[in-house]
Each structure stands twice: as structure tokens, then as C-alpha cells.
Amino acid sequence: MTAVMVAGFGLNIVMGRSTFDRPPVVHAHAFVFFAWVFLYLGQNFFIASHRVALHRALGWIGAFWVVPMLILGCLVTIARVQAGTVIFFFTPLQFLVFDPGTLLGFAGLTYAAIALRRQSDWHRRLHFCAMTLLVGPGLGRLLPMPLLQPYAFEVTYAVQLLFPIAGMIADGRRTGGIHPAWYWGTGAIASTFVAIELITFSSLGLALYGWVTAGHLGASVPPLAFPSPPAP
């Protein structure tokens, strides 16, 4: 999953789709999120190399690190929706709901994993499922998103599920059964998706969009219409 994130964002930079000419909040967002990605990778390395004390200490830092991730993720999403600059293969309302919604699902699974830290079998699998929810932006930069419209979000979410499915298969081959943490984690991922879809296509979603965009350029953008693609 770390490789997917690095490859996705790296490809965008190499191809000139991304630029470092962004507001400070976007840079802070990038730093905080990629710090988590590498923290997750490091935590796996530390526990595999039996550096348990370091793993535990960094784990508590990670528990607090989730908070700025939630804040910055929401701020960047809201800023883009208010400016009316949502990428063209998502509707503005869909983008407004799925970014914070995914982060809330990630936070819930992360804190569940922390609560079950003494049960390492549950702990690592729930963290894996939480990380699955974060890999969407990396995948979205590797998949042919314009060709997947109007189901770019849904297809990306389905591809993300391949990660916990691979974990289930690995469990089955190694132990002959599937650990229940996979069912709970995958169920939480699926429930997050259902909640996002329900809110997006509801009066609650429309009210949220109106409240967020009031007084901004985004208020003139239809919430459930796909923006026009950029000129070639």
C-alpha cells in the first residue's frame, strides 16, 4: 500500500499533473498524510524486527497523529469545494462527502486497532483495513479515472477492497481459516462506502453542500453534476 501511494503521487509529479505551487495547508496536508504512510511502514518493520518498545512508543504518537489528519483532510476538501475546483471525474457533493467520510472510517478502524493492541492478531489486521481506506488517492492517480466516469469513486473503492481480500486469502493459505478481524474490518470499509453514497444522494448531502459553499464560488456549481474536463 505504501508503494501504491508513492507510485501514484510520484507519477503525478513526473507527468506534470501536480505542482508544488500550492497553499501552505495543502503542503501541511501532504506532509501529515505521507508521514502516516511511512509510520505505518516503519511500524511493520519495527515489530517484525522485534523492536517492540519503539513500536509501542511510535504507536502512541500515531494515535494523536490521526487528529491533524482529520482536520487537514477536511480543510483541504472544503477549500476545493468552496473554490469550485473539484476534479472533473467526481461530482462536487460526492467529493465533499467521501473525503471526510473515508477519513472518519479510517479513524474508527485505527482507534479500534489501538484499543485491541494487546490482541496482536486483531490489532494488525484492523490497522491494515484502516490503511486500506487511505490508499484511494494513490490508486486514483494510477487508475484511468476519466475513463471510469461516472463511477470513478465506486470503482476505486472496489479496487481498494483487493487489499483486505488478499489478506483473507493469505490467512486461509497459512492457517486454513479467515480471522474474524478481516470480516469486521472489511465490513467497516463497506459500511463507510454505503454511508457515503447515502449521504451524497440525500437531502442531508445537499444541505451540507449549500452550507459549505454559501458565499463562495462553489455555490454556483451544481452539486451532483460532473465538472467539465480541462481543455487539452
The dihedral region occupied by 54, where left means phi > 0, alpha psi between -120 and 50, and beta the remainder, is: alpha
Per-residue confidence (pLDDT) for residue 55, from 0 to 100: 95
Q: Give CB contacts under 8 A, 24+ apart, made by 38-47.
A: 38/2, 39/65, 40/1, 40/2, 40/127, 40/131, 41/2, 43/127, 47/124
Per-residue confidence (pLDDT) for residue 231, from 0 to 100: 64
Rounded (5°) CA angle 145-149-154:
80
Is residue 222 classed exposed, middle or buried when 0-12, 13-18 and 19+ CB atoms within 10 A define those classes? exposed
Per-residue confidence (pLDDT) for residue 37, from 0 to 100: 94
Side chain identity, residue 212: V
Reported pTM = 0.93
Q: Which helix (H) or strand (E) holds 83?
A: helix 52-83
Cell 472544503 belongs to: 78
Count of Cβ atoms closer than 10 Å to residue 191 Cβ: 12
Count of Cβ atoms closer than 10 Å to residue 112 Cβ: 19
Distance CA(9)–CA(46), nearest Å, equals 25
Distance CA(214)–CA(63), nearest Å, equals 34
Each of the 232 residues of the chain gets a pLDDT tens digit; together they read 888 888 877 777 767 666 666 788 988 999 999 999 999 999 999 999 999 999 999 999 999 999 999 999 999 999 999 999 999 999 999 999 999 999 999 999 999 999 999 999 999 999 999 999 999 988 888 999 999 999 999 999 999 999 999 999 999 999 889 999 999 999 999 999 999 999 999 999 999 999 999 999 999 999 999 998 876 6
Per-residue confidence (pLDDT) for residue 7, from 0 to 100: 84
Distance CA(85)–CA(87), nearest Å, equals 6
Q: Are 125 and 185 in contact (CB under 8 A)?
A: yes
The dihedral region occupied by 72, where left means phi > 0, alpha psi between -120 and 50, and beta the remainder, is: alpha
Per-residue confidence (pLDDT) for residue 5, from 0 to 100: 86
Per-residue confidence (pLDDT) for residue 8, from 0 to 100: 76
